[in-house]
Each structure stands twice: as structure tokens, then as C-alpha cells.
Amino acid sequence: CIQIKKETAKKLKEIQLARHETYNDIIIRLLKERKEKKKK
């Protein structure tokens, strides 16, 4: 049982890291879009 919990914990951490990266990408994209709109 403990081994399975450790494996799921690792998967959850990997998913959280992946979500965090995509979240940062979204913020960067929004910031770029705002800068482009200001130029116009």
C-alpha cells in the first residue's frame, strides 16, 4: 500500500509541475498580448 501511495504522489507532483509550466506560459502569453495591444 505504501509503495502505491509513493508512486501516485510522484505522478501528482509531475502533473502539478506540468500545470505550473503551462500556467506560466499562459501568463507570459497574456503579458505579450497586452504589450502588443499597447503598441497599437
Give residue-wise pLDDT tens across range 10-23.
988 888 877 777 88
CA-based R_g, the chain, Å? 17
| Cell numbers 503598441: residue | 39
Task: Please determine, for residue 40, whether its predicted confidence score (pLDDT) is greater than 80.
Answer: no
Say how far apart CA 22 and CA 37 lie, in whole Å.
22
Q: What's residue 33's pLDDT?
A: 93
| Cell numbers 503579458: residue | 31
Task: Please determine, for residue 31, whether its predicted confidence score (pLDDT) is greater than 90.
Answer: yes
Greatest CA separation found in the chain?
A: 59
Per cent of the chain over pLDDT 70 is 100
Residue 23, all three cell numbers: 500556467
Domain boundary assignment for the chain = 1-40
Average pLDDT, the chain: 85
